[in-house]
Structure 1
């Protein structure tokens, strides 16, 4: 054998291998928190989201994409490609277990740079036993020299080479609790700090830093917005001062009509359900309360608007670093809009600001500032989830349905602005990332056996092909249950435990419960759900 020739061949092979690796796409996954299904302009909303809309106009929108109905479960499924129950998230506030790998861990092994800006919410959140000490901790009035959760559960210990953001799930947007940079506590923030902008700033910094190297990158941008408390900058709120003064029914009607006009829905298969909520309807309130409720929704809109502004900055940075064409961007939400109204401080809700000002949780007030913790409530949440029923934490479509946008100039083969009704699920993101990165899903990682993937790659859909998707999709969160199969959906509401059956192929908005007409189908789907749950639920 000619030794010099062999070495030369080997060098060529190595260089060509490196070149191919350098050509692998960057991946940016952007998650919004408690976003209404139709909040975005490209999904029928009135909120100003021109940057997201532009990505949709030049990309692909999914109209049958699912999450896990709440923050922690969705994030667990997204990052691991498994059902949340399989990796410790049978309920909120637990740590992601080691029998699954994160996208960051899997792609890091394949030579990707990895970074995360934003909310984690996948670590055990243990409060202090003493309530006053807990409040002092939340209020930044005391430093108990303790981590916010076990350090080995932080993003920096789960494959992310860079991370900035809150470990817990709820934040004061102007002075957040549980903020970390890597594993270091960020004890103070600038006077002009705003959480959404800070997440964007870090995402931009990370792109600029990672773009200086040849290796591709995976960036997870996990926004806290528009999750309560309703905190926004005055200039953003001002844009929506008059937008919601005619109430939630008007909003729902206008969004529904716009979605039909845009071709997002067919009124024959998406009949408009009755608006649902708790408390007095719009006309039953006096002028003062109507004004207050309109202001609450205005702040929600302002928070979404600010996220969109940040996505515009991320896009401009990708262009400036010549990374845009070969970057897959995915935008989605962790669940539907939220009806939650917590009217007392405690656990993750402070009662005072850092400088001692009391925080107002209830009553009629001008929302948006650090001293008010407002919530949109159930009527606005249902309207924000048009055309669907219900909201966050329920397994109805309004809880589990998310907008999902894919944009990838160098790799997407669908016609710009296309819609796809092929179903997908957040757990499909992991295998999609693996496939387009040419990475393998490990059987073991860090001396732990790894549970086989449940998700299925979306790559065929991105290539404008029909994919072999999931035969069935299952849902469970704190008593809300569902299974989707063959165009049918069996769902059990959290509030009464009675199974309901809907023919989604003809009734996507779940308006006609046909459980009494199909007892055999109901029983078979119920059995299938139980078999699945017995398989994925933790042993203890």
Structure 2
């Protein structure tokens, strides 16, 4: 009799082990990345834009208010998928801009694609029994050897380049990749709709084997050109007639009311001139009241389209969630939502013309971007925007909903980074990070798993001695504990490093270098070590 019990026990253990090995007990992972979304652009962070599906994830999960990315698209995506610094991973600069900086051309860490010092998280998850999918923006290489397929994604439908028309992309200049080959785009269909269709089809086709999946939902919204289905734009008709100045103030106070921003923080005045992605322009940053009625009408329309893009992206996230619920996979899924960097300041066609009349704004026939005034409103509490090492370029909204989590809606203020996500995904999959891959020695992770924080086993991921640095277009920053040094050219900065207490001064309004000279020196020394350890080749801004 005892032998029978023992045999039954062994069989049960073998069964459970087999279940673990084939992946049915491990959670799915869905990583949702918005392109150039501002810190205050979703409802749970203070926006008036309708994002009920994103907000629902926040209500069931956690809101992260101390999450940091890189200052632009491809450097962030390199850090996201490799768990280490972009200067190590091959995107020390954006591939399309390295040629502007001769000292970086051909140097290690500036290849313009994921190099052999790193391994993409999709490759590791695939090796650990996961299906791996991507739909949306890649921006980490244009050739087959640099494609999603070469980096571990079993199924893909990806824009290889930085941006494209959302309805009729020219695949000759903005190539798409599907599975193992270059692909055509289904012209006339809207990007977020197409990507979501692909995501659902990938999951559906592999359901039979019951393996877990990793889905990288890399939406290209709300990156310019500003285009959206007309019904989504119409929802916001007249909404932004209040202007960008008022919207910035409303967003700021809404974020305070939601506990995203401390009540003692003051909204600083705007700068006098416009900032661009690569340089600071000498054109004035005009207040709303100084615009003519026609200029206000055009500007408001830009923001209506931008809001429509976000609304449509949320609608498509809802489609994905509904499908997962239909197939009983929603509860057993880890969801992560974030933006790759701050809002973009590009303006495109500032005013409509014969080729781009007002009535065409937001359609496939137009090419519109919303410019720095609206970007300041999207950043709200944060200073500046994409391309800058200031908070507006690198401080991103993030939401995480754990598997089987139903009650959340809590705010986590701990300092976290985009490099923490790859280690988190590998941890939840039960994998380990190798020292080498395909014969190449790997750089170690600079991020750390968020699971102890998410499981409430720890109050933080990184202690006060942890250092994160940034450098892009000659704009630099370094964070250690509550302290941050930031270097931006005048008039937005002093052209030298300034010292800020980010916990008390998230708007980076008060330089404390003279008040805390020892801390300032410590931070400068840490910066020098960061440059050396990560192979940073300094560049003057364009």
TM-score by length of 1: 0.87
Q: Which moved more, 1:467-476 or 1:76-85?
A: 467-476
The answer to whether residue 251 in structure 2 is matched with residue 233 in structure 1 is no
The answer to whether residue 60 in structure 2 is matched with residue 58 in structure 1 is yes
Matches within 5 A, 1:275-294: 275-276=270-271, 278=274, 279=284, 280-294=286-300
For the Cα contact (< 8 Å) 2:498–2:513, is it kept in 1?
yes
- Corresponding position of 2:87: 85
Matches within 5 A, 1:89-128: 89-93=91-95, 94-123=112-141
- Corresponding position of 2:532: 534
Instruction: Describe the shift of the 1:97–1:539 C-alpha distance in structure 2 as closer, same or farther (beyond 3 A).
Output: farther
SS at match of 2:307: helix
1: CA distance, partners of 2:399 / 2:40: 13
For the Cα contact (< 8 Å) 1:30–1:329, is it kept in 2?
yes
2: CA distance, partners of 1:518 / 1:398: 24
Question: How many residue pairs end up in the alignment?
Answer: 494
1: CA distance, partners of 2:206 / 2:193: 20
The answer to whether residue 469 in structure 2 is matched with residue 474 in structure 1 is yes
The answer to whether residue 153 in structure 2 is matched with residue 160 in structure 1 is yes
CA RMSD between the two structures: 2.4
- Corresponding position of 2:371: 377
Instruction: Describe the shift of the 1:168–1:501 C-alpha distance in structure 2 as closer, same or farther (beyond 3 A).
Output: same
2: CA distance, partners of 1:359 / 1:85: 41
Matches within 5 A, 1:293-442: 293-342=299-348, 360=356, 366-410=360-404, 412=405, 415-442=407-434
Q: Which runs of 5+ in 1 are unaligned?
A: 124-148, 345-356
How big is the shift at 1:343?
Answer: 5.8
For the Cα contact (< 8 Å) 2:147–2:177, is it kept in 1?
no
2: CA distance, partners of 1:524 / 1:122: 35
For the Cα contact (< 8 Å) 2:332–2:403, is it kept in 1?
yes
For the Cα contact (< 8 Å) 1:395–1:491, is it kept in 2?
yes
The answer to whether residue 187 in structure 2 is matched with residue 187 in structure 1 is no
1: CA distance, partners of 2:375 / 2:392: 9
SS at match of 2:514: helix
SS at match of 2:509: coil
How big is the shift at 1:407?
Answer: 1.0
How big is the shift at 1:9?
Answer: 8.8
Instruction: Select which of 163, 167, 181 maps to 1:174.
Output: 167
1: CA distance, partners of 2:536 / 2:344: 27
How big is the shift at 1:392?
Answer: 0.4
For the Cα contact (< 8 Å) 1:289–1:364, is it kept in 2?
no
How big is the shift at 1:358?
Answer: 9.1
- Corresponding position of 1:127: none
Matches within 5 A, 1:495-510: 497-510=495-508
Instruction: Describe the shift of the 1:453–1:409 C-alpha distance in structure 2 as closer, same or farther (beyond 3 A).
Output: closer
For the Cα contact (< 8 Å) 1:199–1:223, is it kept in 2?
yes
- Corresponding position of 1:347: none
Instruction: Describe the shift of the 1:480–1:237 C-alpha distance in structure 2 as closer, same or farther (beyond 3 A).
Output: same
2: CA distance, partners of 1:430 / 1:245: 42
SS at match of 2:235: helix
2: CA distance, partners of 1:190 / 1:18: 45
Instruction: Select which of 439, 443, 452 maps to 1:451.
Output: 443
How big is the shift at 1:522?
Answer: 1.7
SS at match of 1:17: helix
For the Cα contact (< 8 Å) 1:359–1:370, is it kept in 2?
no
How big is the shift at 1:476?
Answer: 1.3
1: CA distance, partners of 2:7 / 2:254: 64
The answer to whether residue 210 in structure 2 is matched with residue 214 in structure 1 is yes
Q: Which moved more, 1:272-281 or 1:92-101?
A: 272-281
1: CA distance, partners of 2:8 / 2:430: 26
- Corresponding position of 1:460: 452
How big is the shift at 1:468?
Answer: 4.0
2: CA distance, partners of 1:512 / 1:486: 17
Q: Which runs of 5+ in 2 are unaligned?
A: 96-111, 275-283
SS at match of 1:240: coil
Matches within 5 A, 1:488-499: 488-494=483-489, 497-499=495-497
Instruction: Describe the shift of the 1:359–1:77 C-alpha distance in structure 2 as closer, same or farther (beyond 3 A).
Output: farther
How big is the shift at 1:102?
Answer: 0.9
- Corresponding position of 1:197: 193
- Corresponding position of 2:27: 25
For the Cα contact (< 8 Å) 2:72–2:387, is it kept in 1?
yes
